[in-house]
Amino acid sequence: KIGKNVIIGANSVICSGSEISDNVIIGCNTVIGAEGFQIIFYNGIPQVIRHVGGVYIENNVFIGDSCSIHRSLFEGYTIIKENTKINSQVHVGHNCIIGKNTVITANCVLMGSVEVGNNVWIAPSSTISNKVKLSDDTFVGSSSLVTRNSRKGQKLMGSPALDFKKYARLIIQQKK
């Protein structure tokens, strides 16, 4: 399903099971509803599990060029809530939920089942690990690897990501 005033860039693919609300912009070469990557081993051989869920994109979302938004593994949806802005070359794994008014900048990776709250900012080239929950108003600095849940309003930086104050103290200590 595709709503009103939706713009879809050249060479983008909208897969079955995707629902796009009104006033959404999708850049070029983007895939909405891509097949996820869930592996199980059967008799020692890796097998890819077929994803049968969907993607639901709410109103006023912007998704840039060359992004992949993966469908949910089983029932339900990978969800991108209203007014979210996603820059180019972003990977959103299966079963992710991205809150309202969130900004995800270029080259970020959200692994499977990540939950992003409202008003979150994820700076360029950051990675959010499987099943991590970023609370409302979280800020993730550039090139960070977030492996743990955040607190509301927390600022994270580094790899692995630490609270910004702790990260700053660590950098100052290293320079001494």
Q: Beta strand 162-163 with 155-157: parallel, antiparallel or unpaired?
A: antiparallel
Show Cβ contacts of residue 118 under 8 Å, excluding neighbours closer than 6 positions.
81, 99, 100, 101, 102, 136, 137
The residues annotated with a catalytic role in the active site are 94
Two tokens at 19?
């629902």
Two tokens at 120?
């979150």
